[in-house]
Copies of this chain bind each other. A is one copy, B any other.
Amino acid sequence: MTMPTLEDAQALDRADPLAAFRQRFSLPENVIYLDGNSLGPLPVETPRRVAEAVAKEWGDGLVTSWNDAGWVDAPHRIGDKIARVIGARPGEVVVTDSTSVNLYKLIMAAAPLSPGRTEILTERGNFPSDLYVAEGAARTLGLELRVVDRDDLVGAMSSATALVMLTQVDYRSGYRHDIAAMNRIAAGHDVRIVWDLSHSIGTVPLDLGRDGVELAIGCGYKHLNGGPGAPAFLYVAKALQDKITSPISGWFGHASPFVFDARYQPAPGISRFLAGTPPILSMVALEAGVDLMLEVDQNALFAKSAQLFDLFALLVAARCPELRPVSPDDPATRGGHISFAHDHAYEIIQALIARGVIGDFRTPDVARFGITPLYTRFEDIWRAVDILDDIMARKIWQEPQYAVRRVVT
Protein backbone atom coordinates (compact mmCIF):
# COMPACT_ATOMS: atom_id res chain seq x y z
CA MET A 1 0.00 0.00 0.00
CA THR A 2 1.35 3.46 -0.81
CA MET A 3 1.47 5.92 2.04
CA PRO A 4 -1.46 8.39 1.95
CA THR A 5 -0.42 11.95 1.18
CA LEU A 6 -1.99 15.18 2.40
CA GLU A 7 -3.69 15.38 -0.97
CA ASP A 8 -5.16 11.92 -0.49
CA ALA A 9 -6.55 12.99 2.88
CA GLN A 10 -8.05 16.12 1.36
CA ALA A 11 -9.67 14.01 -1.34
CA LEU A 12 -11.28 11.87 1.35
CA ASP A 13 -12.64 15.04 2.95
CA ARG A 14 -14.17 16.17 -0.34
CA ALA A 15 -15.94 12.83 -0.61
CA ASP A 16 -17.10 12.82 3.03
CA PRO A 17 -20.91 12.94 3.35
CA LEU A 18 -20.57 14.26 6.92
CA ALA A 19 -18.13 17.02 6.05
CA ALA A 20 -20.69 19.81 6.47
CA PHE A 21 -21.15 19.07 10.17
CA ARG A 22 -17.78 20.62 10.91
CA GLN A 23 -19.32 24.03 10.24
CA ARG A 24 -21.72 23.44 13.10
CA PHE A 25 -18.93 23.70 15.69
CA SER A 26 -16.97 26.70 16.94
CA LEU A 27 -13.48 25.28 16.69
CA PRO A 28 -10.53 27.55 17.51
CA GLU A 29 -8.13 28.43 14.72
CA ASN A 30 -4.89 26.48 14.45
CA VAL A 31 -6.05 23.67 16.67
CA ILE A 32 -6.50 20.04 15.71
CA TYR A 33 -8.83 18.83 18.42
CA LEU A 34 -8.50 15.13 19.12
CA ASP A 35 -9.95 15.18 22.62
CA GLY A 36 -13.67 15.23 22.02
CA ASN A 37 -13.89 12.04 24.05
CA SER A 38 -12.80 14.06 27.05
CA LEU A 39 -14.73 17.28 26.33
CA GLY A 40 -16.69 17.76 23.12
CA PRO A 41 -16.29 21.16 21.42
CA LEU A 42 -18.84 23.98 21.38
CA PRO A 43 -21.67 23.70 18.84
CA VAL A 44 -22.29 26.98 17.01
CA GLU A 45 -25.90 26.96 18.16
CA THR A 46 -25.18 26.58 21.88
CA PRO A 47 -24.20 30.14 22.90
CA ARG A 48 -27.47 31.52 21.56
CA ARG A 49 -29.54 28.93 23.39
CA VAL A 50 -27.71 29.36 26.67
CA ALA A 51 -27.95 33.16 26.39
CA GLU A 52 -31.67 32.88 25.76
CA ALA A 53 -32.12 30.60 28.76
CA VAL A 54 -30.22 33.07 30.92
CA ALA A 55 -31.72 36.36 29.74
CA LYS A 56 -35.23 35.43 28.67
CA GLU A 57 -36.15 32.25 30.54
CA TRP A 58 -34.45 33.06 33.83
CA GLY A 59 -34.21 36.85 33.63
CA ASP A 60 -37.66 37.65 32.26
CA GLY A 61 -39.61 34.47 33.00
CA LEU A 62 -38.23 33.92 36.48
CA VAL A 63 -39.92 31.14 38.40
CA THR A 64 -42.71 30.83 35.81
CA SER A 65 -40.20 29.30 33.40
CA TRP A 66 -40.41 26.02 35.27
CA ASN A 67 -43.72 25.68 33.47
CA ASP A 68 -43.54 28.11 30.58
CA ALA A 69 -40.03 27.37 29.30
CA GLY A 70 -40.34 23.64 29.91
CA TRP A 71 -37.63 23.47 32.57
CA VAL A 72 -39.53 20.93 34.61
CA ASP A 73 -39.73 18.57 31.63
CA ALA A 74 -36.09 18.96 30.60
CA PRO A 75 -34.83 15.72 32.22
CA HIS A 76 -37.43 13.73 30.26
CA ARG A 77 -37.41 15.78 27.09
CA ILE A 78 -33.64 15.54 26.66
CA GLY A 79 -33.73 11.95 27.88
CA ASP A 80 -36.19 11.02 25.15
CA LYS A 81 -33.93 12.63 22.56
CA ILE A 82 -30.96 10.63 23.84
CA ALA A 83 -33.16 7.53 23.70
CA ARG A 84 -33.41 8.04 19.93
CA VAL A 85 -29.60 8.08 19.64
CA ILE A 86 -29.11 4.85 21.58
CA GLY A 87 -32.03 2.73 20.44
CA ALA A 88 -34.10 3.11 23.59
CA ARG A 89 -37.80 3.85 23.84
CA PRO A 90 -39.39 7.10 25.01
CA GLY A 91 -39.60 7.02 28.79
CA GLU A 92 -36.52 4.87 29.21
CA VAL A 93 -33.93 7.65 29.63
CA VAL A 94 -33.62 10.69 31.89
CA VAL A 95 -30.92 13.32 32.07
CA THR A 96 -29.89 13.98 35.66
CA ASP A 97 -26.93 14.35 38.01
CA SER A 98 -23.47 13.06 37.02
CA THR A 99 -22.37 9.67 35.70
CA SER A 100 -20.94 8.90 39.16
CA VAL A 101 -24.19 9.65 40.97
CA ASN A 102 -26.23 7.78 38.35
CA LEU A 103 -23.98 4.75 38.52
CA TYR A 104 -24.34 4.74 42.29
CA LYS A 105 -28.13 4.85 41.97
CA LEU A 106 -28.26 1.93 39.55
CA ILE A 107 -25.88 -0.28 41.52
CA MET A 108 -27.76 0.39 44.74
CA ALA A 109 -31.11 -0.13 43.05
CA ALA A 110 -30.32 -3.22 40.98
CA ALA A 111 -27.96 -5.33 43.10
CA PRO A 112 -30.74 -6.18 45.60
CA LEU A 113 -32.69 -7.80 42.72
CA SER A 114 -30.38 -10.78 43.24
CA PRO A 115 -30.65 -11.47 46.96
CA GLY A 116 -28.19 -13.85 48.53
CA ARG A 117 -25.48 -13.14 46.00
CA THR A 118 -22.22 -11.74 47.24
CA GLU A 119 -20.30 -9.97 44.48
CA ILE A 120 -20.38 -7.04 42.12
CA LEU A 121 -18.19 -7.98 39.18
CA THR A 122 -16.26 -5.59 36.99
CA GLU A 123 -13.05 -5.39 34.99
CA ARG A 124 -9.75 -3.91 36.01
CA GLY A 125 -9.58 -1.61 33.01
CA ASN A 126 -12.90 0.08 33.77
CA PHE A 127 -13.01 3.83 34.35
CA PRO A 128 -11.31 4.38 37.71
CA SER A 129 -14.23 6.57 38.78
CA ASP A 130 -16.64 3.70 38.08
CA LEU A 131 -14.47 1.40 40.16
CA TYR A 132 -14.50 3.94 43.00
CA VAL A 133 -18.27 4.36 42.90
CA ALA A 134 -18.79 0.60 42.79
CA GLU A 135 -16.38 0.12 45.70
CA GLY A 136 -18.43 2.52 47.82
CA ALA A 137 -21.79 1.10 46.78
CA ALA A 138 -20.59 -2.47 47.34
CA ARG A 139 -19.48 -1.58 50.86
CA THR A 140 -22.87 -0.06 51.64
CA LEU A 141 -24.62 -3.12 50.23
CA GLY A 142 -22.38 -5.52 52.10
CA LEU A 143 -21.10 -7.01 48.84
CA GLU A 144 -17.62 -7.64 47.57
CA LEU A 145 -16.37 -5.74 44.53
CA ARG A 146 -14.60 -8.32 42.42
CA VAL A 147 -12.25 -6.80 39.85
CA VAL A 148 -10.85 -9.10 37.17
CA ASP A 149 -9.02 -8.79 33.87
CA ARG A 150 -11.22 -8.50 30.81
CA ASP A 151 -10.36 -11.97 29.60
CA ASP A 152 -11.49 -13.42 32.91
CA LEU A 153 -14.87 -11.67 33.01
CA VAL A 154 -16.93 -14.41 31.45
CA GLY A 155 -15.37 -17.08 33.61
CA ALA A 156 -15.89 -14.98 36.73
CA MET A 157 -19.66 -14.72 36.33
CA SER A 158 -21.37 -17.19 38.61
CA SER A 159 -24.29 -17.72 40.93
CA ALA A 160 -22.42 -15.46 43.38
CA THR A 161 -22.62 -12.47 41.02
CA ALA A 162 -25.22 -9.94 42.10
CA LEU A 163 -24.48 -7.42 39.35
CA VAL A 164 -21.92 -6.82 36.61
CA MET A 165 -20.70 -3.32 35.85
CA LEU A 166 -18.96 -2.70 32.53
CA THR A 167 -17.95 0.23 30.40
CA GLN A 168 -18.59 -0.66 26.78
CA VAL A 169 -15.63 1.23 25.30
CA ASP A 170 -12.40 1.13 27.30
CA TYR A 171 -11.30 4.69 28.08
CA ARG A 172 -7.68 3.86 27.38
CA SER A 173 -7.43 1.29 24.61
CA GLY A 174 -10.77 1.90 22.93
CA TYR A 175 -11.62 -1.83 23.18
CA ARG A 176 -15.36 -2.25 22.68
CA HIS A 177 -17.45 -4.94 24.36
CA ASP A 178 -20.12 -6.76 22.38
CA ILE A 179 -23.08 -5.63 24.48
CA ALA A 180 -25.53 -8.23 23.19
CA ALA A 181 -23.12 -11.13 23.68
CA MET A 182 -22.16 -10.06 27.19
CA ASN A 183 -25.80 -9.55 28.15
CA ARG A 184 -26.62 -13.07 26.94
CA ILE A 185 -23.79 -14.56 28.97
CA ALA A 186 -24.86 -12.62 32.05
CA ALA A 187 -28.47 -13.69 31.57
CA GLY A 188 -27.27 -17.26 31.63
CA HIS A 189 -26.18 -16.61 35.21
CA ASP A 190 -29.41 -14.75 35.94
CA VAL A 191 -27.45 -11.56 36.48
CA ARG A 192 -27.73 -8.07 35.02
CA ILE A 193 -25.09 -5.76 33.59
CA VAL A 194 -24.99 -2.01 34.24
CA TRP A 195 -23.41 -0.52 31.13
CA ASP A 196 -21.46 2.73 31.16
CA LEU A 197 -21.85 4.17 27.66
CA SER A 198 -19.80 7.32 28.24
CA HIS A 199 -17.29 6.55 25.51
CA SER A 200 -19.89 4.94 23.23
CA ILE A 201 -22.74 7.37 22.74
CA GLY A 202 -22.32 9.59 19.74
CA THR A 203 -19.55 7.55 18.20
CA VAL A 204 -20.54 3.88 18.19
CA PRO A 205 -23.96 2.74 16.93
CA LEU A 206 -26.08 1.61 19.86
CA ASP A 207 -29.36 -0.27 20.01
CA LEU A 208 -30.11 -0.91 23.66
CA GLY A 209 -33.50 -2.44 22.97
CA ARG A 210 -32.19 -4.92 20.42
CA ASP A 211 -29.19 -5.79 22.55
CA GLY A 212 -31.15 -6.53 25.70
CA VAL A 213 -29.71 -3.72 27.83
CA GLU A 214 -31.54 -3.32 31.12
CA LEU A 215 -29.45 -0.69 32.92
CA ALA A 216 -27.09 1.98 31.58
CA ILE A 217 -25.59 5.37 32.25
CA GLY A 218 -23.59 7.74 30.11
CA CYS A 219 -21.91 11.06 29.79
CA GLY A 220 -23.20 14.30 28.27
CA TYR A 221 -19.94 16.15 27.78
CA LYS A 222 -17.96 13.82 25.53
CA HIS A 223 -19.39 12.89 22.12
CA LEU A 224 -22.74 14.55 22.88
CA ASN A 225 -20.94 17.91 23.04
CA GLY A 226 -23.04 19.08 25.97
CA GLY A 227 -20.44 21.29 27.63
CA PRO A 228 -18.07 20.92 30.58
CA GLY A 229 -19.59 18.71 33.25
CA ALA A 230 -22.89 18.44 31.36
CA PRO A 231 -25.48 16.37 33.24
CA ALA A 232 -25.39 12.65 32.59
CA PHE A 233 -28.07 10.25 31.42
CA LEU A 234 -29.57 7.18 33.04
CA TYR A 235 -31.40 4.37 31.27
CA VAL A 236 -33.61 1.66 32.75
CA ALA A 237 -35.50 -0.71 30.43
CA LYS A 238 -39.28 -0.40 30.77
CA ALA A 239 -39.73 -3.90 32.14
CA LEU A 240 -37.43 -3.18 35.06
CA GLN A 241 -38.50 0.35 35.95
CA ASP A 242 -41.20 -0.41 38.46
CA LYS A 243 -39.20 -3.17 40.14
CA ILE A 244 -36.42 -0.96 41.46
CA THR A 245 -36.18 2.35 43.28
CA SER A 246 -33.48 4.94 43.64
CA PRO A 247 -31.54 5.11 46.91
CA ILE A 248 -31.57 8.91 46.56
CA SER A 249 -35.31 9.50 46.85
CA GLY A 250 -35.56 13.21 46.09
CA TRP A 251 -38.60 15.24 45.16
CA PHE A 252 -38.09 15.17 41.39
CA GLY A 253 -38.46 11.39 41.63
CA HIS A 254 -41.67 11.58 43.64
CA ALA A 255 -44.99 10.52 42.12
CA SER A 256 -46.40 14.00 42.90
CA PRO A 257 -43.49 16.33 43.56
CA PHE A 258 -45.62 19.43 44.06
CA VAL A 259 -48.23 17.91 46.32
CA PHE A 260 -45.61 17.96 49.08
CA ASP A 261 -46.70 14.70 50.69
CA ALA A 262 -44.78 13.81 53.81
CA ARG A 263 -43.97 10.30 52.55
CA TYR A 264 -41.94 9.33 49.52
CA GLN A 265 -43.90 7.64 46.79
CA PRO A 266 -41.69 6.76 43.80
CA ALA A 267 -42.96 8.09 40.50
CA PRO A 268 -43.96 5.45 37.98
CA GLY A 269 -41.45 4.76 35.27
CA ILE A 270 -38.05 6.33 34.75
CA SER A 271 -38.93 9.53 36.69
CA ARG A 272 -38.15 7.82 39.97
CA PHE A 273 -34.46 8.04 39.15
CA LEU A 274 -34.50 11.81 39.32
CA ALA A 275 -33.44 13.29 42.64
CA GLY A 276 -33.02 17.05 43.15
CA THR A 277 -33.66 20.13 41.04
CA PRO A 278 -31.79 19.87 37.70
CA PRO A 279 -29.09 22.42 36.76
CA ILE A 280 -31.02 24.08 33.96
CA LEU A 281 -28.28 26.16 32.32
CA SER A 282 -26.10 23.07 31.91
CA MET A 283 -29.15 21.12 30.69
CA VAL A 284 -29.88 23.72 28.00
CA ALA A 285 -26.34 23.47 26.65
CA LEU A 286 -26.56 19.69 26.64
CA GLU A 287 -29.83 19.78 24.73
CA ALA A 288 -28.22 21.82 21.95
CA GLY A 289 -25.51 19.17 21.61
CA VAL A 290 -28.04 16.35 21.60
CA ASP A 291 -30.19 18.09 19.00
CA LEU A 292 -27.17 18.27 16.72
CA MET A 293 -26.42 14.58 17.28
CA LEU A 294 -29.99 13.73 16.29
CA GLU A 295 -29.34 15.03 12.79
CA VAL A 296 -26.65 12.43 12.18
CA ASP A 297 -26.97 8.81 11.12
CA GLN A 298 -25.03 6.87 13.76
CA ASN A 299 -23.89 4.21 11.30
CA ALA A 300 -22.50 6.81 8.91
CA LEU A 301 -20.77 8.40 11.87
CA PHE A 302 -19.05 5.21 12.88
CA ALA A 303 -18.12 4.37 9.30
CA LYS A 304 -16.23 7.66 9.08
CA SER A 305 -14.73 7.08 12.53
CA ALA A 306 -13.36 3.74 11.31
CA GLN A 307 -11.87 5.37 8.23
CA LEU A 308 -10.24 8.12 10.29
CA PHE A 309 -8.88 5.53 12.69
CA ASP A 310 -7.41 3.42 9.92
CA LEU A 311 -5.70 6.43 8.37
CA PHE A 312 -4.28 7.39 11.77
CA ALA A 313 -3.06 3.84 12.47
CA LEU A 314 -1.49 3.46 9.04
CA LEU A 315 0.37 6.78 9.21
CA VAL A 316 1.67 6.20 12.74
CA ALA A 317 2.81 2.67 11.92
CA ALA A 318 4.80 3.99 9.00
CA ARG A 319 6.12 7.24 10.42
CA CYS A 320 6.27 6.80 14.22
CA PRO A 321 6.88 3.09 14.77
CA GLU A 322 8.18 3.71 18.30
CA LEU A 323 4.57 4.40 19.33
CA ARG A 324 3.06 1.00 20.11
CA PRO A 325 -0.56 0.63 18.99
CA VAL A 326 -2.87 -0.46 21.83
CA SER A 327 -6.28 -0.14 20.15
CA PRO A 328 -8.01 -3.05 18.42
CA ASP A 329 -7.60 -3.46 14.67
CA ASP A 330 -11.13 -4.66 14.07
CA PRO A 331 -13.66 -1.79 13.91
CA ALA A 332 -16.28 -4.09 15.44
CA THR A 333 -14.29 -4.27 18.67
CA ARG A 334 -13.26 -0.66 19.03
CA GLY A 335 -14.77 2.70 19.86
CA GLY A 336 -14.09 6.26 18.83
CA HIS A 337 -10.50 6.81 19.88
CA ILE A 338 -7.06 5.49 19.05
CA SER A 339 -4.27 5.06 21.55
CA PHE A 340 -0.57 4.36 21.53
CA ALA A 341 1.79 3.38 24.32
CA HIS A 342 5.13 5.05 24.89
CA ASP A 343 7.20 5.48 28.07
CA HIS A 344 7.09 9.23 27.50
CA ALA A 345 3.48 9.51 26.39
CA TYR A 346 2.91 12.35 28.86
CA GLU A 347 5.68 14.50 27.39
CA ILE A 348 4.69 13.63 23.83
CA ILE A 349 1.11 14.78 24.47
CA GLN A 350 2.32 18.03 26.05
CA ALA A 351 4.56 18.69 23.05
CA LEU A 352 1.63 18.01 20.71
CA ILE A 353 -0.61 20.41 22.64
CA ALA A 354 2.07 23.09 22.32
CA ARG A 355 1.86 22.60 18.54
CA GLY A 356 -1.96 22.81 18.54
CA VAL A 357 -2.74 19.09 18.45
CA ILE A 358 -4.88 18.33 21.49
CA GLY A 359 -4.98 14.71 22.57
CA ASP A 360 -4.60 13.39 26.06
CA PHE A 361 -2.45 11.26 28.29
CA ARG A 362 -3.74 8.38 30.36
CA THR A 363 -1.59 6.73 33.00
CA PRO A 364 0.74 5.02 32.93
CA ASP A 365 1.93 5.38 29.33
CA VAL A 366 -0.96 5.99 26.94
CA ALA A 367 -1.30 8.77 24.35
CA ARG A 368 -4.97 8.90 23.41
CA PHE A 369 -6.58 10.61 20.44
CA GLY A 370 -10.32 11.06 20.01
CA ILE A 371 -11.70 10.29 16.55
CA THR A 372 -14.76 12.47 16.43
CA PRO A 373 -16.11 12.29 12.90
CA LEU A 374 -18.62 15.13 13.26
CA TYR A 375 -15.85 17.71 13.04
CA THR A 376 -12.56 15.88 12.44
CA ARG A 377 -11.26 15.91 8.87
CA PHE A 378 -9.00 13.37 7.22
CA GLU A 379 -6.68 16.30 6.65
CA ASP A 380 -6.60 16.87 10.45
CA ILE A 381 -5.45 13.30 11.01
CA TRP A 382 -2.76 13.64 8.38
CA ARG A 383 -1.48 16.91 9.82
CA ALA A 384 -1.63 15.60 13.40
CA VAL A 385 0.55 12.63 12.53
CA ASP A 386 2.86 14.89 10.55
CA ILE A 387 3.41 17.01 13.68
CA LEU A 388 3.70 13.89 15.84
CA ASP A 389 6.33 12.57 13.46
CA ASP A 390 8.30 15.79 13.77
CA ILE A 391 8.08 15.70 17.58
CA MET A 392 9.33 12.12 17.63
CA ALA A 393 11.99 12.49 14.95
CA ARG A 394 13.54 15.58 16.50
CA LYS A 395 12.87 14.36 20.07
CA ILE A 396 11.11 17.63 20.82
CA TRP A 397 9.22 15.91 23.64
CA GLN A 398 12.50 15.83 25.61
CA GLU A 399 12.39 19.60 26.14
CA PRO A 400 11.96 20.13 29.89
CA GLN A 401 8.77 22.20 29.74
CA TYR A 402 6.84 19.19 28.48
CA ALA A 403 7.58 17.24 31.66
CA VAL A 404 5.77 19.76 33.89
CA ARG A 405 2.75 18.05 35.42
CA ARG A 406 -0.59 19.81 35.27
CA VAL A 407 -3.56 19.34 37.62
CA VAL A 408 -5.79 17.82 34.99
CA THR A 409 -3.95 15.56 32.59
Measured CA separation A251–B28 after assembly (Å): 29
Measured CA separation A71–B38 after assembly (Å): 14
**In the complex where A66-B407, A129-B251 touch, is A278 in contact with B229 (Cβ < 8 A)?**
yes
A277: B residues at CB distance < 8 A: 98-100, 221, 228-229
Measured CA separation A260–B230 after assembly (Å): 21
Indicate whether A343 reaches chain B with its CB closer than 8 angstroms. Answer: no
Number of chain A residues close to chain B: CB under 8 A: 88
Among A53-61, A161-169, A291-299, A311-319, the stretch that binds chain B is A53-61
A278: B residues at CB distance < 8 A: 98, 229
A35: B residues at CB distance < 8 A: 62-63
Measured CA separation A64–B28 after assembly (Å): 12
Measured CA separation A64–B260 after assembly (Å): 44
Chain A window 232-250, contacts with chain B (Cβ cutoff 8 Å), 1 for yes, 0 for no: 1000000000000111111
Indicate whether A282 reaches chain B with its CB closer than 8 angstroms. Answer: yes
A262: B residues at CB distance < 8 A: 124, 128, 131, 147
Q: A residues 13-70 with Cβ under 8 Å of B? A: 26, 28, 31, 33, 35, 38-39, 41-42, 46-47, 50-51, 54-55, 57-60, 62-67
Chain A window 173-207, contacts with chain B (Cβ cutoff 8 Å), 1 for yes, 0 for no: 00000000000000000000000000000000000
Measured CA separation A101–B60 after assembly (Å): 29
Contact present for A41 and B54 (CB under 8 Å): no
A276: B residues at CB distance < 8 A: 97-101, 129, 229, 232
- Minimal beta-carbon separation of A379 from chain B (angstroms): 19
A59 touches which of B42, B54, B60 (Cβ 8 Å): B42
Among A2-10, A332-340, A355-363, the stretch that binds chain B is A355-363
Additional A-B contact list (18), CB under 8 Å, known A50-B50, A66-B407, A97-B101: A39-B62, A39-B63, A42-B54, A50-B281, A63-B408, A98-B279, A104-B250, A108-B140, A132-B251, A132-B253, A132-B264, A135-B264, A136-B245, A140-B140, A140-B247, A221-B277, A229-B280, A229-B281
- Residues of A near any B CB (own CB < 8 A): 26, 28, 31, 33, 35, 38-39, 41-42, 46-47, 50-51, 54-55, 57-60, 62-67, 71-72, 97-101, 104, 108, 124, 128-129, 131-133, 135-137, 140, 147, 221, 227-232, 245-254, 258-264, 275-283, 285, 353, 358, 360, 362-363, 406-409
> Closest 9 A-B residue pairs measured CB to CB?
A98-B276, A100-B250, A100-B276, A136-B249, A129-B251, A279-B282, A228-B280, A132-B264, A42-B59
